[in-house]
Structure 1
Amino acid sequence: MTPSQTALTDALVAARSGNRTLDASPWTDALATLAQAYEVQDAVAAALGWFDAQPVPGAWKSGGASRSATLTHAPLPPAGVRQNASDFSDLVFHTPGIEAEIALRLGQDVTPAQAAQLTPETAASLIDAMAVSVEIVDARWQDLAATPALLRLADSQVHGALAVGDWVPYAAVDWASQRCEAKVGSAETVVREGTHPLADPAWLLPTWLRHVTRHGQTVPKGTVVTTGSWVGILPCRRGDQVSAAFPGIGSVRLSV
């Protein structure tokens, strides 16, 4: 890594370890490419020992603003990925928000050779289950709106934690008419229909799997990816009760 990458890694590790945030302005020019941001991602995870017990992380976030945008990916620290767990009060968040999503689970191992051949049309056959999920988005950056995209990506794509609901068998869904209902605290329920940015959550699977296998690793059966928000980012505060429901698929509830 470059000296700037090493310094940024150290700063992010210190911020996470000390439960504090960083001013992004001194780091604006620290990263020049996506590859450099991913190298910092990996270095932060290694320094904090997130994946010492598993060579390939068991849960990821992946997505993008549209099919024409560059999709980005981040492995999720296992301590914050919780199945049917409603309480996240033990974790530290600074300026949290929530995203209502669909998570997908691999039903088989995927090798680098298999990942290289995937298309959006064939990749869905690798999925055995789906679940409603809520990502708690949170950053190590003080002013997220003013933080460059590469710095967000280096910071695990500003991930805080992930709540996953019950798994149900994966099946073809009319995503264009799929309804999403998200509620935060006493705010009105946010209702959206057919608003996944990629039109189909499974569309990102080939790009995501090629990223995960880029160092020659096989992605194991059971690996989970959450696939992008249907409601953007909804602001929330500590103690807020949050719910997300996708009629016909499931729901999840949690306390931030």
Structure 2
Amino acid sequence: MSSTPNSSPALPVPMALGDADEAIVQTLRHAHRGGPAVDEQAAQARITSLEQAYALQERLYAALGHAPGVPPYWKSGGPSRSEPMRHAPLPMAGVRPTGSALGTLPLRHRWVEAEIALRLGQAVTPDQAWRLTPEDAPALVDALCVSIEAVDSRWAAGRAVSPLLKLADLQVHGALVLGEFRPFAPFQSHDWAGQECQVRIGNVVRNFRGSLGVGDPSWVLPDWLRHLSRHGAAVPAGTVVSTGTWCGLLDAEAGDEVSVEFAGVGVTTLRF
């Protein structure tokens, strides 16, 4: 069982970015809006720390036209419980309801992840986030839904780019399609290890079972909430986080219809 921290740490000061960092942000912003892919060579030499990658990520999110404050939609996750979680805010232009057509989005790649999204039922302060354990975290959730993340990259190297560059580019996010939210209470003690997931891309169907790297979607919540509140802001009720892939990264093409079903949870669809 995870231990509860005894006291909150001192809040870190946001990292200041230089002119070279701002130039990277602006080339990524242009690529997000349909401009050319970004040559990663200069950025690879420039982005050398996790702190810097997150600072660039925050600046990019703002440069895409978002107001200050805690973003309402996020992705979070990691390959396993023993590896670090990574987090990214999701641009509002790409958050869509189930059944959406994504043809108007300037996607270079159409990679698919089948996920579960969680919605906070209450605001979470920095002190609450710091003290939160994985055992306590499910009590903060009021609803869940099936989500499909369309993964994309603005870097010329695509999925081969380094982890820090992926993180700076909003963790290579393209769009998030959300299904119908349903109450989380019945899933407080859910058997996620036995959870079945079916992904259909065009006429190809793939089946998965208990395949989330961290096991339980709510496992990501403590680290995610500490990340969001690290500069002193409370995380508002209603904030949504998609919690990692159950299917790896699957390829799709323009025109493909995609359907993801989690048995007993719901179905979400999109069209590229």
Using the alignment, how far apart are the partners of 1:156 and 1:12 within structure 2?
A: 10
Structure 2 residue aligned with 1:20: 36
Q: Does structure 1 conserve the Cα–Cα contact (< 8 Å) formed by 2:116 and 2:144?
A: yes
Using the alignment, how far apart are the partners of 2:20 and 2:87 within structure 1?
A: 22
Using the alignment, how far apart are the partners of 2:33 and 2:98 within structure 1?
A: 27
Structure 1 residue aligned with 2:180: 166
1:57 to 71, 86, 93: 71
Q: Does structure 1 conserve the Cα–Cα contact (< 8 Å) formed by 2:95 and 2:177?
A: yes
**Partner SS, residue 153 of structure 2:** coil
- 1:116-148, CA deviations, whole angstroms, 9 ceiling, x for partnerless residues? 110000011000111000000011012223311
Quote how far apart the aligned CAs of 1:83 are: 2.4
- 1:87-137, CA deviations, whole angstroms, 9 ceiling, x for partnerless residues? 112211101101000000000011111101100000110001110000000
1:182 to 177, 199, 207: 199
- 1:20-65, CA deviations, whole angstroms, 9 ceiling, x for partnerless residues? 2112223212111111001001111122212x1x621110000011
Question: Could you list the runs of 5+ residues in structure 1 that have no partner in the other structure?
Answer: none
Does 2:50 correspond to 1:9? no
1:176 counterpart letter in structure 2: A
**Partner SS, residue 67 of structure 1:** coil
Structure 2 residue aligned with 1:220: 236
Quote how far apart the aligned CAs of 1:2 are: 3.7
**Partner SS, residue 237 of structure 1:** coil
2:247 counterpart letter in structure 1: V
Structure 2 residue aligned with 1:46: 62
The correspondence of residues 78-117 of structure 1 with structure 2, limited to 5 A, is 78-117=92-131
**TM-score normalized by the length of structure 1:** 0.95
The correspondence of residues 70-85 of structure 1 with structure 2, limited to 5 A, is 70-85=84-99
1:42 counterpart letter in structure 2: E
Q: Does structure 2 conserve the Cα–Cα contact (< 8 Å) formed by 1:181 and 1:191?
A: yes
Using the alignment, how far apart are the partners of 1:145 and 1:138 within structure 2?
A: 8
Using the alignment, how far apart are the partners of 2:90 and 2:51 within structure 1?
A: 18
Structure 2 residue aligned with 1:134: 148
Q: Does structure 2 conserve the Cα–Cα contact (< 8 Å) formed by 1:8 and 1:30?
A: no
Using the alignment, how far apart are the partners of 1:26 and 1:96 within structure 2?
A: 26
Q: Does structure 1 conserve the Cα–Cα contact (< 8 Å) formed by 2:99 and 2:268?
A: no
Using the alignment, how far apart are the partners of 1:59 and 1:17 within structure 2?
A: 19
Using the alignment, how far apart are the partners of 2:252 and 2:111 within structure 1?
A: 5
Q: Does structure 1 conserve the Cα–Cα contact (< 8 Å) formed by 2:153 and 2:159?
A: no
Quote how far apart the aligned CAs of 1:3 are: 4.2
Using the alignment, how far apart are the partners of 1:86 and 1:209 within structure 2?
A: 29
Q: Does structure 2 conserve the Cα–Cα contact (< 8 Å) formed by 1:196 and 1:228?
A: yes
Using the alignment, how far apart are the partners of 1:20 and 1:126 within structure 2?
A: 41
